[in-house]
Amino acid sequence: MHKDEWQEQEHQEIQLNPIFIEIVDLEGNSMDKSPNLGTNRLLFHPNWSSKEGAWTINIGGQEVRQKQMLLKHEGKPEGYMLLATSFEEARELLDNLRNILLILYPGILISLFLTMRYLAGKSIQPIQKIISKTNQITQSNLNERVPVLDQEDEIGQLTRSINELLNRLEQSMIREKQFTSDASHELRTPLSVMRGTLEVLIRKPRTSEEYVKKIQTALESIDRMSAMIDQLLALARVERSGESMKDEVEIMSFVEEVAVQIEKETGREVRFQTEESIPVFVQVSEKSLQMILNNLIQNAIKYSDGPIDLEIQVENGKPLIFVKDQGYGIGEESIKKIFDPFYRDPSALEKLIPGTGLGLAIVKKLAQESGIEISVSSELGSGSAFRLGF
């Protein structure tokens, strides 16, 4: 049918988009073929099924893609039509694509790598600034801070955290320096008193009463110094030991025992009071609690003349211990400073009440280490109440 179609260019020649056609019978004997096949033949597949796709063969040195179709006449298979077309262009396209990919792929990879390196470098630039600044900060320039570049992102948060850490370090350095200078000052005072007393004593011969009096003054200075050194050692021990071991302490009997013991030792009335009747247990270092109560009661004894009250209240199942006196009280100005090391109220100095100003600093440290909350309320002339919460 339409045999003249075979005269068209694509069936005649093999240079430009040739289409090869061959008709075979059911055994594969060639019945007719397009002129461009010349003496070549297309490849016949005897066991062909219509599901099979196309295959590649070689005709006259050219790669071609071939297909096989069943020809029927009035529903009866009569033969096959073999169709083939040049695969050269497709091959060229595939080759070009492969070459382009071979060049592009490493190119893209390299440029991606370089871009990423650049971007990563740019994004860690602020971190490098932080590193170089923190490396510069030492004990001598602890007041300097890392500049905060961006307030919101993680790097901004990191910078702020580092600055807060520096703040805390600076504050503790300042406190440490202040403490050392206060300690030297406090130790120098009794030493100067002692030196002065002894110098006066050797200037000329004295009566034996004068010798006794002056030596007594010197001994008082020595006592003051050794009390202070004891307190300093106690403070250093608390700081060094860190968080102390906790015991299960029954507060009612523990505080009552402390009251009885101190009353016995000092001869001052220490009254134990509570409205609770059931035992209350807390997890606390017994030794620390004993030291805290001792210090507070010794202060109450020093700064008052009347009886001392040790009171326990229970709030939401948690005990509160009060150490109360009806003594001189603490002024508004002093109350903020009494827990500072070496702070002594001017009235205590005036009244010549012995002390080092370290007792409450030790109490505060011990309370911090043991997880006890300490607060004070006081009124000048009517007494003070120290409150311990667990």
Residue number, 285 or 299, with CB nearest to ligand ADP: 299
Shortest distance (Å) from residue 374 CB to ligand ADP: 12
Residue number, 282 or 297, with CB nearest to ligand ADP: 297
Residue number, 83 or 363, with CB nearest to ligand ADP: 363
Question: DSSP readout, 170-221?
Answer: HHHHHHHHHHHHHHHHHHHHHHHHHHHHHHHHHHS---HHHHHHHHHHHHHH
Shortest distance (Å) from residue 324 CB to ligand ADP: 9
| Bridge partners (DSSP) listed for residue 378 | 384
Q: How far apart are CA 167 and CA 171, in angstroms?
A: 6
Shortest distance (Å) from residue 298 CB to ligand ADP: 8
Residue number, 30 or 273, with CB nearest to ligand ADP: 273
Contact 88, 63 (CB under 8 A): yes
Residue 161, H or E segment: helix 154-203
Shortest distance (Å) from residue 318 CB to ligand ADP: 24
Contact 383, 376 (CB under 8 A): no
Distance of CA 99 to the CA centre of its chain: 52
Question: DSSP readout, 345-385?
Answer: -HHHHHTT----S-HHHHHHHHHHHHT-EEEEEEETTTEEE
Residue number, 139 or 375, with CB nearest to ligand ADP: 375
125-136 and 88-123 helices, crossing angle to 10°? 30
Vertex 320: Cα angle to 314 and 324 (nearest 5) = 125
Show the DSSP H helices in 85-153 as ranges.
88-123, 125-136
Residue number, 48 or 343, with CB nearest to ligand ADP: 343
Distance of CA 57 to the CA centre of its chain: 70
Shortest distance (Å) from residue 350 CB to ligand ADP: 10
3 in helix, strand or coil? helix
Residue number, 37 or 300, with CB nearest to ligand ADP: 300
Contact 280, 314 (CB under 8 A): yes
**Hey, what amino acid is at 256?**
E
Q: What is the largest CA-CA distance in the chain?
A: 158
Shortest distance (Å) from residue 341 CB to ligand ADP: 8
Residue number, 24 or 374, with CB nearest to ligand ADP: 374
Shortest distance (Å) from residue 349 CB to ligand ADP: 8
Residue number, 85 or 384, with CB nearest to ligand ADP: 384
How many CB atoms lie under 10 A from the CB of residue 222? Answer: 13
Residue number, 97 or 222, with CB nearest to ligand ADP: 222
Residue 242, H or E segment: none
Shortest distance (Å) from residue 299 CB to ligand ADP: 4
Residue whose C-alpha is closest to residue 384's, from 331, 330, 337: 330
Binding interface with ligand ADP (CB under 6 A): 299-300, 303, 325, 327-330, 338, 343-345, 348, 355-361, 384
Shortest distance (Å) from residue 178 CB to ligand ADP: 15
Exposure on the CB side of residue 328, measured as CA atoms within 13 A: 18
Shortest distance (Å) from residue 332 CB to ligand ADP: 13
